[in-house]
Structures are given as structure tokens and as C-alpha cells.
């Protein structure tokens, strides 16, 4: 058994490398895009520095100075850092650490899903193959550049040990379910929300079964066990989510709106849409951006229907759980509203968003689609169990695998090469050697919504950026700060405080006296000005004003990168 699992995981690892080539041939210095992956590389490096004692605060990072608790502006990546930190310490390379985590997420997802399915079916081949349906589903493949949501490998283990606790009543199963739930939530706050409906449905179905069979004593025994661990569970949950709780207290303006979710809801066509690099695109399947590529594959769809029928006789409980959960997540993925036969209909998510605060943490309702596939995968395993128990099972296994691989095959995964420590732009090497207490402002800086669309910046090299590429400029700058470690006003995340937006708006007028004094007021030491990143017609005037400003003293000049010391406020 253990040998089979080892060989299986080795095969999954090899397949992952092949599927995502040529990106996987450049794990040391490449990312699949230059927005989120560069930000996550910085985040992993910062967490590693905290664990090593190089940074004083796990909450107050070096970005978005002078704001505090900035780790909470996006996912903390605390769970991912448990594995990434030793890799970073050993290699000094956060890009490599992140890319190894990306590969492992597919391997561990296949392994954890296998454990769940084997517990349910007791059939090794069916569990091995069905686990691939989840691990290599389109919602996961599409999120290869989004480490928090890609880290869904803990989800099957949460459900596995929840089911085991209800079946056996053992405290260790409940404890394991909570630990994996904590890891899932510490990987992405989304999973704390996404797991809630299914856990409620699992509990409700099980309670109804006990009550209908006059087994209320089992229910009370399970409740007693939960009661013993309730307070530790709550304390642990609060600790994991402390940055987010503090964020809501410090920034009451931090509220998702229904408008924020509107364009990120799933549409019916998304469930037959694939990625632009998918093989299926060549035979006419529609393509969609990552958040909207939710195609479950035909092999999964049809085997899940067969599995529903086959499992109903012997495992009604599980069929009820998966069917109810799958439909629930499908409806939730459609977000606030859908147009049906020309009429706009408010969807249940609209009412949940307004009534239950936890749903306001979700900016991308389409991501509920992963849990649709999760439930289909469980049902599919029962169909494969029946199919593989009959004649010609090896031929059937080969056929199922081949059809699935054709449906998910990616022609190529694009990537961008990223500078490492020894190839950084010279100005960042200079900053590395400056006193740690300095504060930096990198310019040009402008409000995010005033530049090019994020999609147009995803694959740009640093040397090709200009001030309109404001997303990519900031993520590169944040990534470079992982080397020089200096506090900076610049930042990128899923949340931008009003004070940051006001400052960015002011700095669009840099180097006006008003903008320089705004930097003075918050204690900025150096203005790092990248002249080349300004539009051509602005460069001469900006250079002239910089040279004559009484508030600035040139401290460094190389190529188009200038560093000015800002005089202290009198």
C-alpha cells in the first residue's frame, strides 16, 4: 500500500512538471506572471525573515509605510511559509520556494483526495484516478499563479476527518479535521468561507440520519466531544484570523461591495470554458481568463452522474451530501445575479452577502466552482469503482486517464524570467547597503485604476515597464524590497487603504513641492526616481525640477535611476 502511494505521488510529480512545461524548466528564476507571484514571493520571504528574527513584527511589514498590520491586506501565507521557509533559508530564493510549493500543491492535492476517496470506496485504482480529477481540475490549473487559492490540498483532509469523526466519534479525528481546517484558512481566508457550507451540509445530513433512526445518543456523544474542544478551537481560529480582525477594526472602510464581486461571478458559459493555452481550444471550446475557466471535463461529468446512481443504493448519505453541496456551490458561484431568458434574477449569494458577514470576504464568487468539482469527484469515484471491478479493467483505466489528460492538456505554460540577487538593478543593490531605518518612496507612483489593465501587464519584463504599468511596477518593487529590506510607501494587495490612495494621488504630481512635503510629513528618507518609467514628454521637465528642488539632495545616480535624500521637516 505505502509503495503504491509513493509510486503514485512520484508519477503525479512527473506529470505536473510535464503538464506545465516550459515554466517548470525554470523554477529557479521564473514566474507565470509578474503580478501576484512576485507579491507572494515577497510575502514568503518576509515570513521567513520573521521566523529567523530578521523582522520584528509578523504583522507590520515593510510595505505601505507608515500603515500597520499590512500583512492582513492580502492572504498572510502563514501555512505556506511553514514549508517555504526552510527552502528559503537553504537557497535564499523565494521564487524557487514559491514554485516548489506550486508543484507540491498538485501532488499533495492528489494524495489528500486519494485518502478521502479510498476511505469512502476502499478501491485503490478508482481513488487514484478520481483524485486526479480534483488535483488537475481547471479551477486549480487556472490558479497556478495564485498560491493562496492553489493551496486547496487541505480541503479533502478536512472533509475526510469530519466524516471519520461522525462515523467513529474519535477525538483525534475531530482534532485532525480542525488542524487541516486551520491550515486551509491560514493558506487563504477564502477556504474558511468555502468550507463552511459543506461542513454545515455534512453535519445536517448526519444529524437527520441519526434522528430518523432514533440514535440521538450518538448525536449527544459527538456534541459532548465538540464541547470539550470548543474553546481551544475558537481561540485557535481567532489567532489565525487575528490580522483580519484587526484590519476590520483599524479600517472600517474595508468592506467588499456587491459591485466588487459582479465581474468575478461565474457565468453558465464558464463551465464549458478552458484556458487560452488549453488543447481543447483548438477544437472549438471557448476560452476564459483564469477566474472563469471552470470546465469540469466530460469524463468527470458523466462518471459523476453514473456514480450518483451506483452509490445511491449503498451510500445514500454521501450522495445526499455531494448532490446538495455540489448544487449549493454551483448556485453560489453565480454570484449576485444572472440573466435568465432576458430577465435579471437575484441569486442566493446576493442575500447571503447582505445577511452573513463571512460571505463579504469573498471577492471572487466564481471560485466556489472548485467545490462543485470537488463534489463531482467524490461521486465519480463510485462510478470508477464499479467500472474497474469488471473485465478489462486495465484497458478501462488507460481509457479514462487518456480522455482526462486530453481534456486538461495545456499546450504550454508561459513564464517571465525574474532577476535574482546577483542580477538586481543596481539601485536596489545600493539600497541594500543603506541603513535599515531609512524609508523609501519609489516613483513614478499613481492610483492603480488610472493605468493599464492588469491583463496587459502580466507578462512584462521589468525593463519594459512604464508608469502606466502601475500594478507590475509595484509588484516588482515589492519583490526587490525582499532583498534590500527597507520600509517603503509602495505596496500591492487586495486592499488599498484610503490614506494610501490619497498619497498616491498626491504623488502623481511629483516632484511638485506639495508632493515632496507630503513625503516629508510621513518621514520618507529617500525618493527613488526611475526617470525611464515616466512618459517621454515628462522626463526632461521632471529631471529639471528635481535638480532645482531645495527639498532634495541627489545621493545616487546610475543610468535612469536617481535617488534623492528628502530634507527633514523643520
Note the pLDDT of residue 322.
97
DSSP 286: P
> Which residues partner with 552 through β-bridges?
566
Is 18 buried (19+), middle (13-18) or exposed (0-12) by CB count in 10 A?
exposed
Tell me: pLDDT of 331 over 90: yes
- In angstroms, the Cα distances linking 365 to 198, 309, 337, 347 are 16, 29, 11, 12
Tell me: pLDDT of 162 over 70: yes
- Cβ atoms of residues 369 and 294 within 8 Å: yes
Which residue's entry shows cell 440514535?
Answer: 215
Helix segments in 252-392, DSSP class H: 258-262, 298-312, 316-333, 348-355, 369-388
Provide the pLDDT confidence category of residue 389 given band limits of 50, 70 and 90.
confident
Q: For residues 544 and 279, give the distance between their C-alpha atoms in angstroms, rounded to a whole number.
A: 53
Note the pLDDT of residue 506.
96
Note the pLDDT of residue 568.
87
Note the pLDDT of residue 197.
94
Q: For residues 219 and 176, give the distance between their C-alpha atoms in angstroms, rounded to a whole number.
A: 19
Give the three cell numbers for residue 90: 537553504
316-333 and 369-388 helices, crossing angle to 10°: 150
Which residue's entry shows cell 442575500?
Answer: 351
> Which residues partner with 554 through β-bridges?
564
Give the three cell numbers for residue 150: 492553489
Residue-wise pLDDT tens digits, 505-533: 999 999 999 999 999 999 999 999 999 99
Element (H, E) at 441: strand 439-443
Whole-angstrom Cα Rg for the chain: 26
Tell me: pLDDT of 495 over 90: no
Note the pLDDT of residue 392.
61
Helix segments in 145-215, DSSP class H: 147-150, 155-168, 171-187, 189-212
Note the pLDDT of residue 391.
64
2 or 53, higher pLDDT: 53
Tell me: pLDDT of 1 over 80: no
Residue 455: partners with Cβ closer than 8 Å, 6 or more residues away:
289
DSSP 146: -
Residue-wise pLDDT tens digits, 61-78: 999 999 999 999 999 999
Mean pLDDT is lowest, of 205-214, 314-323, 456-465, 492-501, for: 492-501
Q: Judging by DSSP bridges, how do beta strands 552-558 and 561-566 pair with one another?
A: antiparallel
How many of the other CB atoms lie within 10 Å of CB of 449?
9
- Cβ atoms of residues 300 and 135 within 8 Å: no
Q: For residues 113 and 124, give the distance between their C-alpha atoms in angstroms, rounded to a whole number.
A: 12
Work out the average pLDDT over 458-484: 96
Q: For residues 95 and 74, give the distance between their C-alpha atoms in angstroms, rounded to a whole number.
A: 18
Residue-wise pLDDT tens digits, 46-64: 999 999 999 989 999 999 9
Q: What number of CA atoms fall less than 13 Å from residue 527's CA on the CB side? A: 28
For the CA atoms of 40, 42, 44, 48, what is the dihedral angle to 10 degrees?
A: -170
**CA pseudo-torsion sign 162, 166, 168, 172:** positive
Residue-wise pLDDT tens digits, 238-276: 999 999 888 888 887 777 788 888 889 999 999 999 999
463: nearest Cα among 416, 504, 407: 416
3-class secondary-structure state, position 291: helix
Note the pLDDT of residue 504.
94
Note the pLDDT of residue 546.
95
| Average pLDDT value over all residues in the chain | 93
- In angstroms, the Cα distances linking 105 to 13, 146, 152, 409 are 10, 11, 7, 18
Amino acid at each position: 500500500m505505502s509503495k503504491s502511494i509513493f509510486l503514485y505521488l512520484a508519477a503525479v510529480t512527473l506529470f505536473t512538471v510535464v503538464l506545465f512545461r516550459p515554466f517548470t524548466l525554470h523554477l529557479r528564476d521564473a514566474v507565470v506572471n509578474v503580478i501576484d507571484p512576485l507579491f507572494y514571493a515577497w510575502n514568503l520571504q518576509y515570513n521567513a525573515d520573521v521566523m529567523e528574527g530578521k523582522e520584528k513584527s509578523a504583522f507590520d511589514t515593510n510595505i505601505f509605510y507608515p500603515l500597520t498590520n499590512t500583512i492582513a491586506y492580502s492572504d498572510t501565507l502563514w501555512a505556506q511559509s511553514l514549508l517555504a521557509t526552510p527552502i528559503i533559508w537553504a537557497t535564499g530564493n523565494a521564487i524557487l520556494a514559491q514554485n516548489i510549493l506550486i508543484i507540491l500543491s498538485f501532488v499533495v492535492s492528489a494524495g489528500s483526495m486519494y485518502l478521502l476517496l479510498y476511505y469512502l470506496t476502499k478501491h485503490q485504482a478508482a481513488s487514484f484516478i478520481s483524485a486526479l480529477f480534483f488535483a488537475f481540475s481547471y479551477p486549480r490549473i487556472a490558479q497556478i499563479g495564485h498560491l493562496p487559492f492553489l493551496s486547496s490540498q487541505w480541503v479533502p483532509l478536512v472533509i475526510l476527518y469530519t466524516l471519520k469523526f461522525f462515523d467513529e466519534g474519535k477525538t483525534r479525528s475531530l482534532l485532525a479535521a480542525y488542524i487541516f481546517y486551520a491550515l486551509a484558512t491560514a493558506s487563504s481566508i477564502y477556504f474558511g468561507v468555502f468550507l463552511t457550507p459543506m461542513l454545515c451540509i455534512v453535519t445536517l445530513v448526519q444529524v437527520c440520519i441519526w434522528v430518523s433512526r432514533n440514535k440521538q445518543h450518538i448525536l449527544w456523544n459527538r456534541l459532548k466531544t465538540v464541547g470539550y474542544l470548543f474553546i481551544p478551537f475558537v481561540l485557535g481560529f481567532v489567532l489565525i484570523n487575528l490580522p483580519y480582525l484587526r484590519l476590520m477594526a483599524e479600517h472600517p472602510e474595508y468592506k467588499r461591495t456587491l459591485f466588487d464581486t459582479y465581474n468575478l461571478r461565474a457565468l453558465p458559459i464558464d463551465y464549458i470554458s478552458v484556458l487560452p493555452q488549453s488543447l481543447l481550444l483548438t477544437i472549438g471550446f471557448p476560452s476564459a481568463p483564469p477566474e472563469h475557466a471552470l470546465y469540469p471535463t466530460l469524463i468527470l461529468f458523466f462518471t459523476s452522474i453514473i456514480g450518483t446512481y451506483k452509490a445511491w443504493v449503498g451510500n445514500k448519505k454521501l450522495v445526499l451530501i455531494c448532490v446538495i453541496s455540489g448544487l449549493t456551490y454551483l448556485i453560489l458561484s453565480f454570484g449576485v445575479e444572472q440573466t435568465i431568458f432576458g430577465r435579471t434574477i437575484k441569486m442566493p449569494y446576493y442575500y447571503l452577502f447582505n445577511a452573513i458577514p463571512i460571505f463579504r470576504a469573498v471577492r471572487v464568487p466564481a471560485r466556489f466552482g472548485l467545490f462543485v468539482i470537488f463534489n463531482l469527484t467524490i461521486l465519480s469515484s463510485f462510478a470508477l469503482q464499479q467500472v474497474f471491478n469488471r473485465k478489462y479493467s486495465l484497458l478501462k483505466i488507460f481509457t479514462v486517464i487518456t480522455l482526462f489528460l486530453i481534456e486538461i492538456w495545456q499546450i504550454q505554460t508561459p513564464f517571465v524570467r525574474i532577476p535574482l540577487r546577483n542580477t538586481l538593478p543596481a539601485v536596489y543593490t545600493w539600497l541594500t547597503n543603506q541603513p535599515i531605518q531609512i524609508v523609501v518612496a519609489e516613483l513614478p507612483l499613481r492610483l492603480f485604476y488610472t493605468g493599464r489593465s492588469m491583463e496587459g501587464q502580466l507578462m512584462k519584463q521589468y525593463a519594459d515597464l512604464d508608469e502606466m504599468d502601475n500594478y507590475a511596477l509595484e509588484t516588482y518593487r515589492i519583490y526587490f524590497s525582499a532583498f534590500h529590506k527597507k520600509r517603503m510607501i509602495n505596496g500591492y494587495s487586495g486592499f488599498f487603504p484610503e490614506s494610501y490612495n490619497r498619497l498616491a494621488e498626491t504623488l502623481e504630481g511629483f516632484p511638485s513641492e506639495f508632493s515632496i512635503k507630503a513625503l516629508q510629513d510621513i518621514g520618507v528618507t529617500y525618493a527613488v526616481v526611475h526617470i525611464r518609467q515616466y512618459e517621454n514628454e515628462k522626463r526632461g521637465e521632471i529631471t529639471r525640477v528635481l535638480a532645482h528642488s531645495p527639498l532634495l539632495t541627489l545621493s545616487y545616480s546610475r543610468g535612469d535611476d536617481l535617488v534623492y535624500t528628502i530634507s527633514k521637516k523643520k
